[in-house]
Amino acid sequence: MKQASGTRVKYRGGSPRFKGVLALVCGLGLLIGFVVLEVDSYALRTHGVRATAGVDGTKHDGHNRSYLLTFSGPGGSPVSEWTDDVRSGTKVGDRITVVYDPQDVSNVEDQRDEGRGPWADLVLLAGAAFFLWTAYTDLRPATARPRRNPRNPFRHQ
Tens-of-pLDDT digits for all 157 residues of the chain? 445 555 554 545 667 788 888 999 999 999 998 888 888 888 888 888 899 999 999 988 888 888 899 999 888 889 999 988 888 788 898 999 998 888 888 888 888 766 566 777 888 899 999 999 999 888 877 665 566 666 766 665 5
CA pair distance 153, 50, nearest whole angstrom: 64
Residue 131 is predicted with a pLDDT of: 94
In a domain, 147, yes or no: no
Longest dimension (CA), the chain: 79
Cα→Cα distances 32→29, 38, 68, Å: 5, 10, 27
In a domain, 127, yes or no: yes
In a domain, 88, yes or no: yes
In a domain, 151, yes or no: no
pTM given for the model: 0.62
In a domain, 51, yes or no: yes
Domain span holding position 131: 19-139
If one counts the domains in the chain, the total is: 1
- Cα of first residue to Cα of last residue in the chain, in angstroms, is 43
CA pair distance 16, 22, nearest whole angstrom: 10
Cβ contacts of 60 within 8 Å, gap of 6 or more = 66
Residue 37 is predicted with a pLDDT of: 83
CA pair distance 125, 73, nearest whole angstrom: 33
CA pair distance 109, 4, nearest whole angstrom: 54
In a domain, 129, yes or no: yes
In a domain, 8, yes or no: no
CA pair distance 38, 153, nearest whole angstrom: 45
Cβ contacts of 105 within 8 Å, gap of 6 or more = 73, 74, 79, 81
In a domain, 4, yes or no: no
